[in-house]
Amino acid sequence: MALVATGLTTHIYNNHLKSFALLAGFPLLLVLMVGAFCTGLDAMMQNSVRRGSSIDWHKAFTSGQEGIVEFGPYAVGAALIWFVIAYFFHEKMMRAASGAVPVTRREMPKIYNLLENLCISRGLPMPQFEVIDSPALNAFATGLNEKTYKIVLTRGIIDRLSDDELEAVIAHELTHIINRDVRLLIIAVVFTGIISFLAEMVFRSLVHGRRPNYYRRRRSNNNNGGVAVMLLALAVLVVGWLFALAIRFTLSRKREYLADAGAVELTHNPEAMMRALQRISGQDKVTGMPDDVQQMCIENSHSFMGLFATHPPIDRRIITISKMTGTPVPQPQVSLRRGPRSPWDQGPPPATQETIK
């Protein structure tokens, strides 16, 4: 386990570094995007007004600098306001996006007992639980600090996994909290949302609203100018999406392997972790959950050749656990039992008969 411990330490350090880089670099990225957009807009307007003439790039770059001075503070200010709002209200935002609701120990004593044993073994404060009313099998952790850490489970995973499998899933999510994966993912989700929002705002302002002063001074009755603006607005949306995608892929998929390893270390039950992954496989999609939240889950399967996968394949994760621990891969147990159609209509599950010590 020494190699695993070293890997976890390095991973935590990298997460701290990436979080700082996102926080420090994002305002600069926004300013550069504003400058690039204004430079491109001026060049396109020159081309539409003076057909056949070469573009004066010095003038275009000057317009880009003017755009940064005029619109850069608005972009950075909007980003800061968005981040402050997200910092204080991220719990409500995540609940609204996932449909999760808080549950207490009295309502679901089993999951709290499982978590309590894991936290005691590591001397950790206990996160709270939230539950999503969905028959899907999935889970994720959320929060920015000890006061806001939460583990979110679907009702399907609570009902359909055995106690040792559910304990392994909870340990997996607790490891994400220990490794600071959760904080990095929350920051990435917030920044991805900012990029998408600003790209949409730029598009709407170009099509329907206010345009830069230096553009209005070059207004042309030529319809080609309007088409050029529409194309540039579309390009802004595409660039915003690509930046959001790039941020998503800066998050290493290694985090899931390390969380699996951490779960095995906490529970001392690699077979339970492998069985849990087998049951989750192909049953992870929560209807209506945004992709940015789905990427935080224990599984986020993609059917299109895994091209946009944020998680390694479950089969590979199971084989890795097997090789790491020397435990044979368990034979999958087929179960036709399905989760209830409307889980909350049945109320909370009955209290456990035994208290896990």
Kindly report, residue by residue over 276-319, the tens digit of the pLDDT: 999 998 889 988 888 778 888 898 876 554 445 678 889 999 99
Kindly report, residue by residue over 316-335, the tens digit of the pLDDT: 999 999 998 999 998 866 55
Query: Which residues, 6+ apart, have CB-to-CB distance to 77 below 8 Å?
Result: none
To the nearest whole number, what is the mean pLDDT of the chain?
A: 76
**Radius of gyration of the chain from its Cα atoms, rounded to whole angstroms:** 25
Rounded to two decimals, the pTM is 0.72
**How would you classify residue 344: left for phi > 0, otherwise alpha for psi between -120 and 50, otherwise beta?**
alpha
Count of helix runs (H) and strand runs (E) in the chain? 12, 4
Kindly report, residue by residue over 161-202, the tens digit of the pLDDT: 999 999 999 999 999 998 888 887 787 777 776 666 666 666
Q: Are 238 and 37 in contact (CB under 8 A)?
A: no
Full set of structural domains in the chain with CATH: 2-96+192-249 (no CATH), 102-182+253-333 (3.30.2010.10)
- 152/139 Cα distance (integer angstroms): 5
Per DSSP, helices labelled H in 99-147 are 109-122
Active site residue 173: yes
The one catalytic residue among 91, 167, 173, 299: 173
Residue 62 has pLDDT above 60, yes or no: yes
**Highest averaged pLDDT of the listed ranges 61-65, 70-74, 121-125, 154-158:** 154-158
Q: What angle do CA 75, 80, 83 make, to 5 degrees?
A: 125
